[in-house]
Amino acid sequence: MNQMPLYPLRFAPIYQYRLWGGRRLSNLLATPLPGDGPVGEAWVLSDRDDHQSQVANGPLKGQTIGELMENFRDQLMGRSASRFRRFPLLLKFLDAREMLSVQVHPSDAHPDLIPAGESGKTEAWVVIEANKGSRIYAGLKPGTTAGDLRHSLATGTIADHLVSIVPKPGDSVFIPAGTVHTLGNDVVVFEVQQNSDVTFRLYDWGHVDAKTGQPRPLQVDQAFASIDFANCNGGLVTPVVVTTTPVERERLFDCEHFLLWRLRGESPFSVGAAEMPRVLVCIEGSGWIEDGGSAYGIDKGEVWLLPAVVGACEFHPNNAVTLLEIALPESS
């Protein structure tokens, strides 16, 4: 099987119960939501032992991303094949009907806080939907000390020490590891992050999990050990326009773990790159990829992985389309 040439791969979403979630991902993704409870996250590309994304199209349908990394690593990852044991990014859609916990993720500089097999967690959000009451908190206000923050936990005033953003669709927010953050009150975002599930909760707004009848546990000491009080490089980012024709390409994020561009256009344009994998996320409109004489239809909400062997190919919009294209940085 590992001699089979790889092709553009679509992955099925993995829905996750979250007490703060809603049901709005049904407007974005074609796969029906389970049950009738709150669904907070759709993991749309996940190489986690407990949540393995499965291919949803073509001869490899049903194969997991982990199996692809094992059997087709060179075809899939190209020049980055030797750098990664598992696919290094975790991609999600989040529907935060209520506020998430105020939380922080450790950086790779804190190995003592990171379980074996995990990494630090830098992430970023692209806002898909938001209302007037929606909020994103990203980083501490200048001058906030550890003492200020501990006092605010006792008094329930932690929001007073956080940089507040009223999000609108299209906004992009960078959350480097070590940044205190949260979001919620009817906001839907796309998230790109390091492939890590290490989160330390500082404060949870009095949430009680309906499934357990209990508050969720906090990890205050680990969170404080993870916070970068000296720097705050997170928050709203200003898009950098790279091209305007035949597609408007804006660079939203460029860090040591991932790059992400937003592409908007109505005429055919190029996606992908030679000898490196790329991920496409359709957040508005639809179209198809042309590769090797075959056409692969892409609809709103879908996530496609272009293996390194696919290289650059042509995307044909059916109408006005908005894509996110995600890349791994070249090794230094």
- The residues annotated as belonging to the active site are 201
Q: Which two tokens stand for residue 63?
A: 């194969």
Alpha helices by DSSP H, the chain? 65-71, 73-77, 146-155, 220-226
Spatial separation of the C-alpha atoms in residues 180 and 201, rounded to whole Å: 9
CA-closest candidate to residue 178, choices 123, 96, 126, 244: 123
**Alpha-carbon separation of residue 258 from 83, 155, 255 (angstroms):** 14, 38, 6
Give me the sheet containing 294-298, strands edge to edge. 269-271, 313-317, 287-291, 294-298
Spatial separation of the C-alpha atoms in residues 263 and 241, rounded to whole Å: 10
Which residues, listed in sequence order, are joined to residue 173 by a DSSP beta bridge? 125, 236
